[in-house]
Structure 1
Amino acid sequence: MLRCGRKDEIMSDPSLSGTIRKLWVGDTAAFREHLMRLDPATRRNRFGMAASDAFVARYAETSFSTDTAIHGLFVGEAIVGCGELRLGGSDSAAAEAAFSVESDWQGRGFGTRLMARVLLTARNRRIRRLYMNCLASNRQMQHLARRNGAELEWDGGDVVGLLVPETPSPASVLAEAMRDSFGWATAVVEMQKRVLPRRPFGPTA
């Protein structure tokens, strides 16, 4: 189980500040475990309802078969936050963004970092309307949306935020490509650490 560090531990250990990369199908189990660890309030904010374990597991299993770009924020080998960009549908210029950060890791700017990655991905895919749906009680998400220039509209117990990403540029495309390359390289190194046997130092007989 992931041990959540105290603030002083996080400041002294850069690895606890987390690394972000896009997820692939091989990350399905880690993505599911992250969603399962969300406390009831955070899970309700993420899905807009009291989602059961069965619903969450099914959601995780099907997320990689749809046109979705998911960024995971890793602390060690565990995902503690995610930013999802759900594409597709009849309107190719529209997409939906969703975010989740486990309660022990909230308040550390992780949501802001995930939002930046999602916005960059949306920008480079020429998305012109990025929607963020949340409950009216989810003030954190509304604050994050406003801070990024979203227009909010209240609809009963829900709030819909609309962001208009910038148009892509050579610099934005390069920035995403470099971050993806670094992310894949990091994932391969971590996988090798888990799979390859540890060899003792020094000569062997």
Structure 2
Amino acid sequence: MPHTPEAGSTGYFRKLTFADQTRFRDHLLRLDPGARRARFAMPASDAFLRCYAETSFSLDAVLHGYVIDGHLRAVAELRPCGDIRTAEAAFSVEDICRQAGVGTRLMELTLIAARNRGCHRIYMNCLATNRAMQQLARKFTKDLTFEMGDIVGRIDPRSASPFSHLREQTSDVFGTLGGWIDGSRAMLRGRP
């Protein structure tokens, strides 16, 4: 039975690590067939998603997540494409978090991470029917093209600066704090 956030629950954003592999897998498995197809541009079986989650943290990717009550509900992935200067951004957001600004905040965190890693170009590919992803891309770029049935967005992040590094570090601190608070609440409620 899927976990539904408790009334009054608030989520937090944080960078994901290898220790989050199980949470990431569970998040992907909770995606409905339409969300799976939107994320991977094809139907994605449970076996495929398990394998994807197992390899995701070993590919020099930077993942950020949105967590509610200890459950990962949305993820942004930044994956290098051949060289460090070019990367792909991909997003998966569960139904309960859509239309709430979660994708926008994840994109902001992804762009900061890209800047600080010397990435000069980010691509976002989505199906022509994925209006939510197109709306998200339009918030950050006007460079959207139609290629072989997909919409491709291109974002050219600014160069890293001391301020962008400070923003990433501050986000990491708040993410760690959010995890600590979330864990404390769970202990008080008697849940693991």
**Normalised TM-score (structure 1):** 0.85
Aligned-pair distance for 1:57? 0.6
CA contact (8 A) 1:21 1:179 kept: yes
Q: Is the 8 A contact 1:86 1:95 kept in 2?
A: yes
Q: Which has the higher contact order (CA 8 A, sep 6+)?
A: 2
Gaps of 5+ in 1: 199-205
What is the CA distance between 1:159 and its match in structure 2?
1.3
Q: What is the root-mean-square deviation of aligned Cα atoms in Å?
A: 2.0
Q: CA deviation at 1:143?
A: 1.1
Instruction: Quote the residue 1:40 is aligned against.
Output: 33
Q: Partner residue of 2:115? A: 123
Which ranges of structure 2 fall in alignment gaps of 5 or more residues?
A: none
Look up the match of 2:42.
49
Q: Deviations over 1:168-190 (max 9, x none)?
A: 11111011012112323443565
Query: Out of 130, 136, 142, which is 1:138 matched to?
Result: 130
Secondary structure, aligned partner of 1:182: helix
1-structure distance, mates of 2:67, 2:126: 24
Would you say how many aligned residue pairs link Structure 1 and Structure 2? 188
Assess if the C-alpha contact under 8 Å between 1:67 and 1:88 holds in 2: no
Please say if 1:110 is aligned against 2:102: yes
Matches within 5 A, 1:62-73: 62-73=55-66
Q: Normalising to structure 2: TM-score of the pair?
A: 0.90
1:1-205 alignment, distance < 5 Å: 1-4=2-5, 9=7, 13=8, 15-16=9-10, 18-87=11-80, 89=82, 91-188=83-180, 190=182
Deviations 1:3-48 (A, max 9, x none): 146xxx4xxx2x33x1000011111101000000001111100001
Structure with higher Rg: it is: 1
Partner of 1:203: none
Q: Hey, what's the Cα distance between the residues in 2 that align with 1:47 and 1:117?
A: 21
Counterpart position of 1:201: none
Change (3 A) 1:150 1:128: farther
Residues 70 and 183 in structure 2, CA contact (< 8 A), matched pair in contact too: no
Paired amino acid for 2:31: L
How far apart, in 1, do the equivalents of 2:91 and 2:122 lie? 13
Deviation at 1:106, TM superposition (A): 0.8
Shift in Å, 1:104: 2.3
Aligned-pair identity in percent equals: 46
